[in-house]
């Protein structure tokens, strides 16, 4: 009888474990819809930074750039050169705006998690974090990249684009389809996992030693955030460039 009761308790504990939620989220209830408020709040902050910085630095353009204007122009040239490297001289120009939007957005989102003290702001439940700390954000970015990837290929090559799935032999059709399906998964989970890990390391460091020790972790997180933004944008450009290859 004691053994049976122990087994029942184990089964009940198993069901309790299956209902555990990793992290707490803050939602706004609007009618029948729930809005992920913490991601929306931090995303609006990121958008405000992305709009305010160029507006403040390009209001009085100089023929010889200096200061922040020089920095903004350097970033634009870096994005243009990176896009050209991945797509080639003929195709890169029309895709610079896309990559030029993707890279700064992810960079500032990642950086905000490593640099801004989101957790100082108290919410009724849940906590603020970088937008890319949420899997919904990274999946949306990856799916947007996939849409751009398929659009570029179809726009460039027409229906012949889909012939790549049966090359060099139709037997490889399932593998070629699986390759395209795994691209957004790898993009989203790589970005999400790295940003989440960085913020957890910083949070644990602050809770253990709140003064000096977390500073190197935050600096390392800022560096990692920049690298992850660069990797995502570079892979997005490479996938788009790859989809346009083979046109004759």
The string of pLDDT tens digits covering residues 91-126 is 888 999 999 999 999 999 888 876 666 666 666 666
Pick from 153, 144, 112, 145: which is nearest to 247 by CA?
Answer: 153
Confidence label for 207 from pLDDT (cuts 50, 70 and 90): low
The yes-or-no verdict on residue 13 having pLDDT over 50 is no
More confident position, 83 or 160? 83
Domain ranges of the chain: 24-243
pLDDT (mean) for 223-246:
87
The yes-or-no verdict on residue 7 having pLDDT over 50 is no
The string of pLDDT tens digits covering residues 19-55 is 434 456 677 777 787 777 778 888 888 999 888 887 8
Whether the predicted model's global pTM rises above the 0.85 cut: no
């Amino acid at each position: 009888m004691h053994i049976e009761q122990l087994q029942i308790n184990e089964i009940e504990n198993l069901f309790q474990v299956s209902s555990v939620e990793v992290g707490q989220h803050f939602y706004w209830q609007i009618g029948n819809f729930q809005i992920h408020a913490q991601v929306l709040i931090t995303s609006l902050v990121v958008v405000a930074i992305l709009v305010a910085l160029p507006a403040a630095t390009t209001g009085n353009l100089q023929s010889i750039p200096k200061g922040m204007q020089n920095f903004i122009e350097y970033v634009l040239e870096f994005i243009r050169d990176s896009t050209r490297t991945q797509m080639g001289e003929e195709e890169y120009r029309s895709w610079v705006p896309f990559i030029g939007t993707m890279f700064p957005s992810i960079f500032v989102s990642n950086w905000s998690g490593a640099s801004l003290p989101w957790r100082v702001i108290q919410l009724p439940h849940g906590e603020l974090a970088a937008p890319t700390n949420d899997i919904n954000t990274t999946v949306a970015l990856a799916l947007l990249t996939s849409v751009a990837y398929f659009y570029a290929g179809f726009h460039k090559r027409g229906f012949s684009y889909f012939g790549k799935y049966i090359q060099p032999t139709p037997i490889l059709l399932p593998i070629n389809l699986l390759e395209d399906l795994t691209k957004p998964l790898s993009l989203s989970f790589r970005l999400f996992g790295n940003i989440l890990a960085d913020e957890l390391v910083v949070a644990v460091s602050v809770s253990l030693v709140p003064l000096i020790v977390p500073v190197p972790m935050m600096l390392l997180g800022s560096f990692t955030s920049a690298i992850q933004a660069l990797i995502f944008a570079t892979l997005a450009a490479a996938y788009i460039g790859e989809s346009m290859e083979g046109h004759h």
